[in-house]
Amino acid sequence: MKKLLLALLLFVGKDLWAVPNPVKWTYSAKKIADKTYELKVIAAVTAPWHIYSQHTPEGGPAPTVIKIASNPLLLPASATGAFLEQGKLEEKYEEVFGVHIKYFNGNVIFTKKIQLKTNVKTMITGTVEYMACDDQQCLPPMKHPFSVQLN
């Protein structure tokens, strides 16, 4: 079993070294009201690659998951729940997974309102987990940390 796993990693790994990461992430926050900010997590996805929606059904490919780290200055609801998705959403039945998948090509903007308990400067940190695929291959799920200053 170990030899099979090693052979699989070497086979898949050789192709991964040749493929640069097709997704570039940027992060920002804008004050929109007293103690309220709009957090933006932006994915620039290089063609022909795509990433999956946060709302990809179970049994399908790895969905995009954005997690905000615990921060005592945030209202609890600000750190939970899905982000609003804006981009070219595609949906199709994928026989490989046996489910309807939802994915994005090109740029995707994930937004979420963040509310602070008090007016204070703080840093919002978290992670973005995602999987990028094209019509031929998928890269393994990746995890990127982020931090955004709230002023």
Mean per-residue pLDDT over the chain, rounded: 89
Of 93, 90, 148, 83, nearest to 122 by C-alpha is 148
At 33-67, the pLDDT tens digits run: 999 999 999 999 999 999 999 999 999 999 999 99
Ramachandran class of 87: left when φ > 0, alpha when ψ lies in -120 to 50, beta otherwise: left
Say if CB 16 and CB 139 are below 8 A apart.
yes
Name the helix (H) or strand (E) containing 46.
none
Q: What are phi and psi of 76, to 5 degrees?
A: -55, -40
At 79-91, the pLDDT tens digits run: 888 899 999 999 9
Q: Give the domains, in start order, of the chain with CATH numbers.
A: 21-150 (2.60.40.1250)
